[in-house]
Chain A
């Protein structure tokens, strides 16, 4: 095991050396950094050309320049690394460190949403194999899989930013739209739940009706212009969360769990009132934390109250419920900041943003307006990334789950008389996660480097932009810094994935077969 890791790390160094040498030389001969100066009519042009030649050591052939660069990088081993300066005289390491948080913010939410949604839909799809829902999901998965991100981005910006912002000025949903949207919702639920023809029709009609009423209500109250959850909605949604979480986690037959989660919904609704002053105070971050702690403590307390034996699952279920209710209260707080946000001169009634990470010049605004601003800038890029990456998770989790469901131990579990929920959630789902884990690790590395196009179309300044800039401005130090960072990350992620695989699956041992 130890020698295996060492061997892999050794290979890492060889790969890094080879790829960096190749890339350095290829990039060095591909462009002319003096191009702008050659075409300029500036009086001191010759002097500028000389200065740049000296700065970039253009008098030396690229392979020699590579070794000068490498000498600096090898300083890592003596504790004195020198990755050089960018063309703007900023240390390369600093530029990369500045860019990483942005990229992570961009890809983290998208990746999490894609994983959760992808796995949920993939599993549903597998459980309804060869149903209308399954075919529908397969169709959408392949459709989304094949969409290029820049095109998705353009469409999303047009419809969800430009048109939606225009719509928000009045926020009236016209009847054709209500009917259309409700039809789509009806179809979704009908195919997802499926069953006999009569049942499908009932579900369709129910979902259609509920959705129409919901949308008409939203339109009539201008809820989209003045969004707010309020205690009543939080109570109702809280009950929904309580039942849903309990169902997935331990099953509704566990009355203790049902009681404690429902109790959490009640506590959440009551806590909503003191939370208002807590979150609106001058130290909102403390308020957020306090609220979470309060909810968690009451969650644990309630579970202890309602359950005598086998408390673990109940506590777990209550904690999940309290965290979700905590999220609801925070969302409500953001909704309350909506009007000041939209009406500010800087946002100017265009809440959904198409470019950038935030409305930078926004000043003298409350914490929640700023949070909302961040969120509104995150919506489109996250959605775009989610749309194109979740398809892979849908297909993969569907395939894996089907594979697992055909295993002997599943048949055994069923034969034992376990409920379908226990078979799927405990026996099948957990084993489905093993191959998925390794994929996720690899994906995260790929995504950090692969957001180049996304960052460009949404004008985010993360790793991708850095990479792009390095190429366009012939910034070899920066380019090599980014490449080195990403390739190290990719190779390490592969290693971690392999190790994780062997840790999760006892049937697999790394380094075996030697």
Chain B
């Protein structure tokens, strides 16, 4: 016993004395060249155009590897990418549009990008091509066509006429549509490295020579116009399956990784990370490669918000975008090495009232809000009047985003052009004038006109574990009780499958906007619309929606139609928006030009502008 003690003390002292003295130089860090982003999702495939692969994160990774005709900026607004090419309407009747690729653009393997690379878009979007080339029936769910593509059944599929034609220099593609369709600019083609698809279909396992690449491209062009079933089927098989990989390493076929974006995947570990490195051949600017010093972009999968915040504080990650709560915003704002960029998501919370039986539901809705009678209309109006939207925004959203405002239009988001006018004229003022208590009193009077007792209302929301939704329901219950409604709103898990159920009279949830189109979200109120969950039927609205859907309108005409729809909605007391979901992005203070975009590809839309300050 004694000996060990002495031994221990001796060891400790001697070890201290025995340590070698090292040279002294202060640590100093150079400018970083790596950007690490946190993602809560994992990569499931490299080709987001395949049916099951269209996840936000797959699209973000794909976006960084491709450079197309347009993108959404952070406004969000569609921007024509003049650095890649241009597009224009060349004929009104028949309606023809033309896409031209700029000269000098190359894929990461050096092959020039031409109009031939735009032809694949037709193959993956056109059902008629699939039939003509015997590639299978895109509407058959049991046996998928050769190209298991997401694009079938979309606007391009239903409106294009014939095959796209190539110009003599093969840099321009012209597409004809059967009508002057709205949103033709986002319906058009994008570049795909067709020569790699041909190589892969032929079983090649490595990058090929420049001559072989050009030959493969010519082969694709010929096969495309000849409806060559054999080659197209093999290409389709590759296109639908070979890209569905989650691991990328040295053994991955490099043909799968050819792109034309600023960065190219170098490695991916299933469920963990995706690493992209600078594409040396990417030319975003005619004068030469324009990059800002970021050589590597890494996506790391981190599921836990606190872990991500601490990793940001420890400077292991540079960008974190998360589900904001008042607490998480506070934690993030206290990180000295990071800055917070607020902003809104393209997701908005709203309250819907059932007006009738939803499409495809057998059990009829017979609740207090059913039908077009004066009573039902008054009750709906009273309900929306008393709905405490201001209180919800003030108590639940402002602590997260101090700039948050109450939404007053369901078709436009606050800040979008035309929003102010729409709100002024739509009749939403019925639900906004006066104070909350005045509105409650007015609502109570309306209710008492028809019912001496409180009206029982079943309201649907979910998940019960969502704290914000639970608070919303609580606030609503209290306010509506003062307006003569007895709200039964316990929250329901699996709620989304009950949205069209006749069990409920009201429901609040959020719609997600995935693109900016002329039709917008008017489909929700179309009598036969797939998203019409409240059984709302209104001929005036239907007419406006059909117009918006079928014909390209000027901005002014579009807003006029929006006003018609919105006026009817307010008159019939069907729905009211509440707030836009707040977003929070925390970024390494030294990293410049990170601008969150509410639409996909969200954060990475301007990756070429990212740079570190000294």
Contact = CB atoms under 8 A, between A and B. Distances in A.
Contacts of A48: 51, 150
Interface in B75-131: none
A51 B51 contact: yes
A34 B141 contact: no
B273 interface: yes
Interface residues of A, number: 90
A496 interface: no
B19 A223 contact: yes
A468 interface: yes
A47 B153 contact: yes
Interface in A160-177: 161-162, 165, 169
B298 interface: yes
A88 B45 contact: yes
A228 interface: yes
Given A157-B310, A210-B9, A345 B33 contact: yes
Interface stretch (A305-313, A353-361, A408-416, A427-435): A353-361
A360 B275 contact: yes
B244 A457 contact: no
A165 B13 contact: no
Given A207-B9, A346-B34, A35 B496 contact: yes
B561 interface: no
Interface stretch (A229-237, A364-372, A397-405, A506-514): A229-237
B564 interface: no
A32 B316 contact: no
Interface stretch (B21-29, B190-198, B436-444, B567-575): B21-29
A360 B300 contact: yes
Nearest to B499: A38
A206 interface: yes
A45 B530 contact: yes
Contacts of B13: 210, 213-214
B496 A456 contact: no
Contacts of A469: 42, 271, 303
B308 to A, nearest CB: 8
Interface in A46-74: 46-48, 50-51, 54-55
A8 to B, nearest CB: 35
Given A240-B11, A348-B29, A354-B311, A42 B514 contact: yes
B32 A41 contact: no
Interface string B492-517: 01111101000000000111111000
B12 A211 contact: yes
Contacts of A239: 11
Contacts of B24: 222
Contacts of A47: 152-153
A43 B302 CA distance: 31
B9 A237 contact: no
B271 A461 contact: yes
B272 A457 contact: no
Contacts of A355: 300, 302, 307-308, 310-311, 316-317
A461 B493 contact: no
Nearest to B310: A157
B547 interface: no
B211 interface: no
Contacts of B313: 162
Q: Which of A222, A357, A360 has the most CB of B within 10 A?
A: A360
A218 B521 CA distance: 66
B511 A217 contact: no
A42 B152 CA distance: 12
A349 interface: yes
Contact of B531 (A34, A41, A51, A158): A41
A203 interface: yes
B15 A237 contact: yes
Given A41-B531, A345-B34, A350 B315 contact: yes
A254 interface: no
B11 A457 contact: no
Q: Which of B11, B30, B317 has the most CB of A within 10 A?
A: B11
A352 B310 CA distance: 12
Contact of B15 (A41, A162, A214, A459): A214
Interface in A199-229: 203, 206-207, 210-211, 213-214, 217-218, 221-223, 225-226, 228
Given A222-B22, A247-B3, A30 B494 contact: yes
Contact of B514 (A41, A87, A233, A345): A41
Interface in A235-281: 235-237, 239-240, 243-244, 247, 252
A-B pairs with lowest CB-CB distance, top 7: A214-B16, A226-B22, A35-B496, A240-B11, A88-B44, A232-B18, A461-B271
Given A38-B499, A88-B246, A193-B1, 7 more contacts: A89-B52, A230-B20, A243-B3, A247-B4, A354-B314, A356-B273, A356-B302
21 contacts: A34-B497, A35-B496, A38-B499, A40-B512, A41-B513, A43-B153, A45-B531, A51-B52, A162-B314, A214-B16, A221-B20, A225-B22, A233-B19, A236-B11, A236-B15, A345-B30, A350-B315, A360-B269, A461-B272, A466-B271, A469-B42
Interface of A: 29-32, 34-35, 38-48, 50-51, 54-55, 87-90, 95, 98-99, 150, 153-154, 157-158, 161-162, 165, 169, 189, 193, 203, 206-207, 210-211, 213-214, 217-218, 221-223, 225-226, 228, 230, 232-233, 235-237, 239-240, 243-244, 247, 252, 342-343, 345-346, 348-350, 352-357, 360-361, 456-459, 461, 465-466, 468-469
Interface of B: 1, 3-5, 7-9, 11-24, 27, 29-30, 32-34, 42, 44-45, 51-52, 141-142, 150, 152-155, 244, 246, 266-267, 269-273, 275, 296, 298, 300-304, 306-308, 310-311, 313-317, 493-497, 499, 509-514, 521, 523-524, 530-531
